[in-house]
Structure 1
């Protein structure tokens, strides 16, 4: 959920490099698999940070799928896709923040060992995606946004591992809840920025919004 405005739609047409598209398909598969693994581990281990990271993987999966789906399309479709992406990211952030606040009074101490192991696996998975996309870090806006999001998510994985160490060291849930809260706020903020940028590409016509002709 740490994409920020890097995931917003761009007026620059995405590249058509088949190697980039293949990399996105691989990244999509990795993120879907890690979402499934982390959400199960987060719920069973009582870790809000793992659940937040799992939803981050889900958000990234949507990001990669949208990037693949609208590649080469006109700005109209990229703007609509960005609106959907931003709204989804913000809603996921609200859910995680609400769950973290609820856990302050009703939650228990998460399993630090499980958090650490799954967090390291997630870091390795995201790190591999970052390295795979590294060659396109200086490409067009769409390519660069995908790489920056993946890089930021790897940093989020480090935070989850640190939270696990904090839970183990303190014997409390506070490190887990703090990391989950920070990730949730970043998700809400990032979703809002994406929505604002996408809406800036849409012109009001008195009956809603339409995308200007190119």
Structure 2
């Protein structure tokens, strides 16, 4: 009976991991497509928030790819991958802040229709991915980082739509720049959270290896 229970637990764990793998592939494809859509729309529509969101889609696609690569590896390897993703989020946040500061002086007014249409499509795409990944939000730092990136995307998309209304109402670029700064702050705080969790997991992994070496 104990062996049978363990076998059933292993089967359940394998099925859960295989389901997670399929969801990551779906999320990867969606993010690659939306990156292409948003980067072209952001450049054409002169929107910093859309460009920020496009880079976020690209970063998420890379994150999903890394997560797929390390899914079957040890806790230490997954924690190192999480640290790599956290660094990419930090770079994203700093890049958006710099771009927003530059546009603050040049003050190009974004295209409201472009922001509205593309922002809505991005929100629907990210909401679908977030709904799929919701049940895996409390896993290890690797799963946690995937969930946080996806959650931040949904918040970012809502903020882009609010910026669209702001640009429409004021006729200026400042709502677009403000949203870009908020998205940057989300990326920076999430990256720090992931770095802390992955550091804890690396210490646990190192302790387990030391204990195994003594046996």
Cα separation, partners in 2 of 1:186 and 1:139, compared to 1, 3 Å: closer
* Secondary structure of 1:188 counterpart: helix
Cα drift, residue 96 of structure 1: 0.6
Which is further off, 74-83 or 125-134?
Answer: 125-134
2:53 match: 53
Cα separation, partners in 2 of 1:16 and 1:73, compared to 1, 3 Å: farther
Cα separation, partners in 2 of 1:40 and 1:132, compared to 1, 3 Å: same
Cα drift, residue 98 of structure 1: 0.3
The gaps in structure 2 that reach 5 residues or longer are 1-12
Select the structure of larger CA radius of gyration. Answer: 2
Cα distance in 1 between the residues matched to 2:182 and 2:198: 24
1:139-166: CA deviation from partner (whole Å, max 9, x where unpaired): 6445565345423321221111111111
Would you say 1:151 and 2:143 are equivalent positions? no
* Secondary structure of 1:96 counterpart: helix
Instruction: Tell whether the 8 Å contact from 1:97 to 1:181 is kept in structure 2 after alignment.
Output: yes
1:207 match: none
2:118 match: 118
The gaps in structure 1 that reach 5 residues or longer are 1-12, 204-209
1:206 match: none
Cα separation, partners in 2 of 1:156 and 1:172, compared to 1, 3 Å: same
Which is further off, 13-22 or 112-121?
Answer: 13-22
Task: Report the number of matched residues.
Answer: 195
1:174 match: 174
Instruction: Tell whether the 8 Å contact from 1:31 to 1:61 is kept in structure 2 after alignment.
Output: yes
Cα distance in 2 between the residues matched to 1:190 and 1:130: 16
Would you say 1:44 and 2:48 are equivalent positions? no
Instruction: Tell whether the 8 Å contact from 1:137 to 1:148 is kept in structure 2 after alignment.
Output: no
Cα drift, residue 132 of structure 1: 2.8
Instruction: Tell whether the 8 Å contact from 2:82 to 2:145 is kept in structure 1 after alignment.
Output: no
Report which structure shows greater RCO (CA 8 Å, sep ≥6): 1
Cα separation, partners in 2 of 1:91 and 1:109, compared to 1, 3 Å: same
* Root mean square deviation, CA, Å: 2.4
Cα drift, residue 23 of structure 1: 1.4
Cα distance in 2 between the residues matched to 1:32 and 1:77: 25
Larger fraction in helix: 2
Cα distance in 2 between the residues matched to 1:92 and 1:128: 23
* Secondary structure of 1:109 counterpart: coil
